[in-house]
Structure 1
Amino acid sequence: MDEIQLPSKNKPATRWLHGQLVEEIGLSICAHELATGTVVKTEEFEFQYKVSRSVVRETVRVLESMGLVSSTRRVGVLVLPPSNWNLFDPQIIRWRLASSARITQLRSLNELRSSIEPAAARLAAIRAPLVSTTELVALAQRMKIAAQNEDAELFLSLDVRFHQLILECSGNEMFSKLNSLVKEVLTGRTHYGLMPAHPKEEALQLHIDVANRIQKGAASAAHDSMVAIMELAMEEMDKVWASGLEAE
């Protein structure tokens, strides 16, 4: 049997903690550096990453819980196809965004958000308490100021909180569980340059509109404004992606 070449950063053994090994192998699987159907012996992981068997076993258990691998004592660790992966796991989302398939991943995630966030905005307009809607309005205003000041880091953190708060305010516990997903999408698309460097005035105003309409209890209007945000985000991402292709 040919020796399997495992991706490696050649880090010292003392720096390899369990979490780092999960990160390294998980990223390799999601980037298809470790292809579907690949079988790796526990001993190969131990040798390649210079870690103990207990660390490898715990790492494999975590990756199994994500649906990335299955483990059989006499066979080894089998890399499973994407159809088995828990695609809602925040780590898998982050790893896929770090791979060459990030555009496909972002499109899928944007389509998911487009189905859920407008509904969340509608419910928030009906259910959100005053203290939450007040925070939402303040966040939208602060986003505009951060954009004007070209403070990209602050803008991103406010944008993440804005969309997470709407999910929370929906009163739907299933929507609230998507908080981590939204954070990874917004962070990933910014990190990989898939959004304009400077937010459009139209997008900023739409966030203010959503916040104001939720606070006023205008459910249908809040829904429609969130739809517009989702559509604009997809348009902007497509333009940035298209310009990148033309430059290659």
Structure 2
Amino acid sequence: MQQYAARGVHGQTVEVIAQRILTGQFAEGSTLDITALQAEFDVSLTVLREALKVLAAKGMVDARPKRGTFVRPRADWSLLDGDVLRWQFARAAQPSLFEDLHELRSIVEPGAASLAAVRATDADVAALDAALAAMAAAGSDAAAAVAADLAFHRALLSATHNELLVRMEVVIETGLAERDRMVHGALGTDDPVPSHRAVVDAIRAHDPASAADAMRLLLKKAFDDVARIGS
């Protein structure tokens, strides 16, 4: 578990078991050999049980009398959980997962932009402007560009003043961070500011239709960037 050393023993154990489930090494329905895992990871039974509790809370494993601890079907997993999403994206570039993310964003974010155009306060617009400024200042710094992009989309959802939409940031940000890291690493030269500024300008003008349209164009560009990398 050396590659997970920075996460502590508990975190390492959770991550390793999760990755084995995601890769099918621990197949759906299979029973985990707790004694063998404890020996392999060289951890206490308490640490192992606590790690399994984390995965149980995410719907990935369950424990039953006479059956032991087993891997639950994927349909039972909390796929919108931030850790589960991160683990999936971290495995490798997965076109189907990025396509699912794009479809989700295409449904949520144009509507969010439209709502923000109606509800955004001066403080909300200032937060969007700050994200744009950070995006422009990032230049070729991929990490800074990713952080600025995440700040923009977080500010957009916040500007809707809808608690349920704000909670979508966990899903959108987790996938977006992986998408941004991949795109900035491979392309790196495209200026993201104009497409994002169009959204902010429409929100500032309190124009819901234009805000939604600008967001759709931004999302199309984002999807095309991923498609170019995969081609």
- Which residue does the alignment assign to 2:201? 212
Q: Distance in 2 between matches of 1:154 and 1:12?
A: 24
Deviation at 1:88, TM superposition (A): 0.4
Matched residue type, 2:194: Q
Unmatched runs of 5 consecutive residues or more in structure 2: none
Question: Could you list the per-position Cα deviations for residues 11-42 of structure 1 after superposition, in whole angstroms to 9, with x for gaps in the alignment?
Answer: 899x8522221122112212223222221132
- Which residue does the alignment assign to 2:173? 183
Q: Matched residues, percent identical?
A: 28
- Which residue does the alignment assign to 1:168? 158
Matched residue type, 1:118: P
Q: Distance in 2 between matches of 1:21 and 1:48?
A: 11
Matched residue type, 2:221: L
| Structure whose residues are more often helix by fraction | 2
Deviation at 1:56, TM superposition (A): 1.5
Unmatched runs of 5 consecutive residues or more in structure 1: 1-8, 243-248
Question: Could you list the per-position Cα deviations for residues 51-107 of structure 1 after superposition, in whole angstroms to 9, with x for gaps in the alignment?
Answer: 111111111111111111111243222112221111100111111112246221121
User: Does the 8 Å CA contact 1:122/1:220 hold for their aligned counterparts?
Assistant: yes
Deviation at 1:49, TM superposition (A): 0.9
Deviation at 1:125, TM superposition (A): 0.8
User: Does the 8 Å CA contact 2:31/2:68 hold for their aligned counterparts?
Assistant: yes
Matched residue type, 2:69: V
User: Does the 8 Å CA contact 1:31/1:96 hold for their aligned counterparts?
Assistant: no
| Equivalent in 138, 144, 152 of residue 154 of structure 1 | 144
User: Does the 8 Å CA contact 1:123/1:170 hold for their aligned counterparts?
Assistant: yes
Deviation at 1:197, TM superposition (A): 2.6
User: Does the 8 Å CA contact 1:133/1:211 hold for their aligned counterparts?
Assistant: yes
User: Does the 8 Å CA contact 2:82/2:174 hold for their aligned counterparts?
Assistant: yes
- Which residue does the alignment assign to 1:138? 130
TM-score calculated relative to the size of structure 2: 0.91
Work out the number of aligned pairs and report it.
Answer: 230
Q: Secondary structure at the match of 2:140?
A: coil
- Which residue does the alignment assign to 2:213? 224
Q: Distance in 1 between matches of 2:111 and 2:71?
A: 37
